[in-house]
Structure 1
Amino acid sequence: MRRFGTLSFGHYGPLGGGRQLTAGDSMRQAIDLAQGMDDLGANGIYFRVHHFARQQSSPMPLLAAIAATTERIEMGTGVIDMRYENPLYLAEEAAAVDLISEGRLALGVSRGSPETVVRGYEAFGYTGAEDVRGADLAREHFDLFLRAIDGEGLADGDPNSPFGGVSGRARVEPQSPGLRSRVWWGAGTRETAEWAGRTGVNLMSSTLLTEADGRPFDILQAEQLDAFRAAWREAGHAGEPRTSVSRSIFPIVTAEDAMYFGRSGEGDGIGYIDGFRSTFGKTYAAEPDVLVEQLLQDAAVMSADTLMLTIPSQLGVEFNLRLVESFSTHVAPALGWQSTRG
């Protein structure tokens, strides 16, 4: 494990006791958290994206603000639902954030997760999917997005335009060199991971897989990562792709930690998502030395180069910075991590 960061679901709304976390609170706290994590030497801060829900839904303004107010930390998504996206507009936005951050964007995209609404992407104007879950629409949008960031001409230039006409095909602007190498696909199956490897993008693997054959989650996920890398090599892509996995990990170092997470440790879960029998990764909650032993035995954590900690963002910036500091001080170095502060 060479890098670690946090993955926030970005929930806001009633917190109980008369408290209310607004959308504005959620975004401002995310910026503050990113600045604090940058100071601590963590590698990345990533955000889930959901529509028709009280969560982050339009991440680019937030990522741009983080890019402009931090120095080292990578910022990104895990993941943007491509069914909802205008591919060319996303290409322009992603390039702009990547340029502002000087190449620190990690743009995670995929078909997206189950929604709170029925075919919500159709309300955004994206219709025509033949697959009941819109997977074909997501792949179609993603293909056009990749063509756009690769600089392909996508519209006929007008040589008679009064604004500096061009001949031939025009590309979208801006273009950010190397952005393609900072694009990730979020995969929930081995088949999709292999497709991502053949396509030549990085891999994000979450805390669930739509597979269940009785074996532990980490073993299934490690095999997914291996299949992705094999497909990458077989396709002839240069270099080594990046891989990330997500985990719920809570070092217990204070009485408050014990109060919140002391009974959170649990085994893998089995359930159904999108109609598929699926395996859900377990929660790790223990004293740091126990966590180190457990995580060293987690095959996928040891295989991936990046670990994303799912954090309880509703507990506030101070709490989550302490969580990150505890992990970076007491756990991460034993897993092979080194701070960005050198």
Structure 2
Amino acid sequence: MKSFGFLSFGHHSLDGKHGPLAGEALRQQIELARAADEIGVNGAYFRVHHFAPQGSSPMPILSAIAASTKNIEVGTGVIDLRYENPLYLAEEAAALDLIAEGRVALGVSRGSPEPAERGWEAFGYRGGQANGADMARQKFELFMAAVRGAGVARSAPLEEQYPALYRPGIPLPVFPQSPGLERRIWWGSGSHKTAEQAARDGVNLMSSTLVQESDGASFGEIQAEQIARYRAAWKEAGHGWTPRVSVSRTIFPLVAEEDRQLFGIRGEGEDQVGYLEGATKTTFGRTYAAEPDALVEQLKADPAIEAADTLLLTIPNPLGVDVNFRILKNFADYVAPALGWMPATEGPAEGRSVG
């Protein structure tokens, strides 16, 4: 592991009795990102989930963090493309990347199961298969074309243009454009097949918090196989640059008695196997909670963590800034150095020694 960050699901309470309200939760996440930036944490990433009291509109919070920090990478894990206008998303992503001066790691994918039945249709996007995977794929291709500067519309007759800028009938890209942004897009993959496709597409790999394979191997072993297949497909595609790979884990270093009381029992579990969307057999990763020396050994034994260059710590954001900052600080002080951590340094993510 060469970099680590936190992944927040943005959980909030509807009544204020069981956690922060939405506004307070957002402000707390901005405050946590600022504090994390000061101790060299490499990234602040946010889950996107619609029709649930979680994070749903990432651009405002990512822009606020980018504008008020110096080094920390800002990103998503992941944006559900079924709910997006791909050209508008390309404009937003470029604007965010310019504000952040290249500190973006924007994860996108089909998205995860959700409370709403075909909820993307309520957003005005109709058609597609039952789970919208084909729609997400089409939108991804258009999104990447726009990010790469392709013409996605044609200029109007000169007398109809305002302002009159272009010769009639020429291809027009969206604006703004952010140089290098295409190398800061990640595909959130939950299977070997989609990981290999991400490699062919020329985007970074954000391995999911669950995997759609279950053959008796551990979660880490399945993810490591996914990463190996991704890198083999990347080499075969011959893109000419080195991509990044991230994995997510729930990790609690037990340093003080308060840590043990809050999280100690969580480290006793194992990987779980279940079913999503009625039929897909899925493997979910375990929670790690141990004293630092033991934690280092456990994490070194996780083959996916060893294979990836970026580790995202999923955090219990409803517990507030102080608790979550202590998780990050404990990890930075007592665990990450033994795993080869490189603290964030000033400058854009593109070109840093992170993979």
Question: TM tier, shorter chain?
Answer: over 0.9
On the 8 A contact 1:210/1:273 being kept in 2, the answer is: no
On the 8 A contact 2:14/2:53 being kept in 1, the answer is: no
Supply the distance in 2 between the matched residues of 1:88 and 1:26 (Cα, whole angstroms): 29
Is residue 2:31 matched to residue 1:32? yes
Offset, 1:260: 1.2
More RCO (CA 8 Å, sep 6+)? 2
- 2:237 corresponding residue in structure 1: 235
Supply the distance in 2 between the matched residues of 1:207 and 1:57 (Cα, whole angstroms): 18
- 1:324 corresponding residue in structure 2: 328
Supply the distance in 2 between the matched residues of 1:69 and 1:132 (Cα, whole angstroms): 41
Letter paired with 1:139: R
Offset, 1:341: 5.2
- 1:194 corresponding residue in structure 2: 196
Offset, 1:330: 0.2
Offset, 1:27: 1.0
State how 1:135-214 maps to structure 2 within 5 Å.
135-158=133-156, 159-160=158-159, 161-167=161-167, 168-214=170-216
Q: Deviations for 1:227-255, whole angstroms, at most 9, x for unmatched residues?
A: 01111111111111100000000001111
Q: Secondary structure at the match of 2:298?
A: helix
Q: 1:91 to 1:49 in 2, by over 3 A?
A: same
Is residue 2:279 matched to residue 1:285? no
Give unpaired runs (5+ residues) of structure 1.
Answer: none
Letter paired with 1:264: R
- 2:275 corresponding residue in structure 1: 272
Q: Secondary structure at the match of 1:21?
A: coil
Offset, 1:162: 3.5
Q: Secondary structure at the match of 2:151?
A: coil
Letter paired with 2:4: F
State how 1:1-342 maps to structure 2 within 5 Å.
1-13=1-13, 18=17, 20-129=19-128, 131-158=129-156, 159-160=158-159, 161-167=161-167, 168-265=170-267, 266-274=269-277, 275-340=279-344
Letter paired with 1:127: R
Q: 1:95 to 1:268 in 2, by over 3 A?
A: same
On the 8 A contact 2:14/2:22 being kept in 1, the answer is: no
Letter paired with 2:340: G
Q: Secondary structure at the match of 1:262?
A: helix
Q: Deviations for 1:280-339, whole angstroms, at most 9, x for unmatched residues?
A: 111100000000010010000000000000001011111111110000000000001122
Offset, 1:26: 1.2
- Count of residue pairs brought into register by the alignment: 340
Letter paired with 1:184: W
Offset, 1:132: 1.3
**TM-score, normalised by the number of residues in structure 2:** 0.94
Offset, 1:14: 5.4
Q: Deviations for 1:15-48, whole angstroms, at most 9, x for unmatched residues?
A: 88x4551111111111101100000100001000
Q: Deviations for 1:90-144, whole angstroms, at most 9, x for unmatched residues?
A: 0000000000000001100000000111000011111110x21110000000000
In the TM superposition, structure 1's runs of 4+ consecutive aligned residues that sit over 4 Å from their partners are none
Offset, 1:206: 2.1
Q: Deviations for 1:42-70, whole angstroms, at most 9, x for unmatched residues?
A: 00010000111111111001111111000
On the 8 A contact 1:82/1:110 being kept in 2, the answer is: yes
- 2:351 corresponding residue in structure 1: none
On the 8 A contact 1:251/1:327 being kept in 2, the answer is: yes
CA RMSD of aligned residues (A): 1.3
Offset, 1:340: 2.3
Q: Secondary structure at the match of 2:266?
A: coil
Supply the distance in 2 between the matched residues of 1:96 and 1:282 (Cα, whole angstroms): 37
On the 8 A contact 1:267/1:282 being kept in 2, the answer is: yes
Offset, 1:76: 0.3
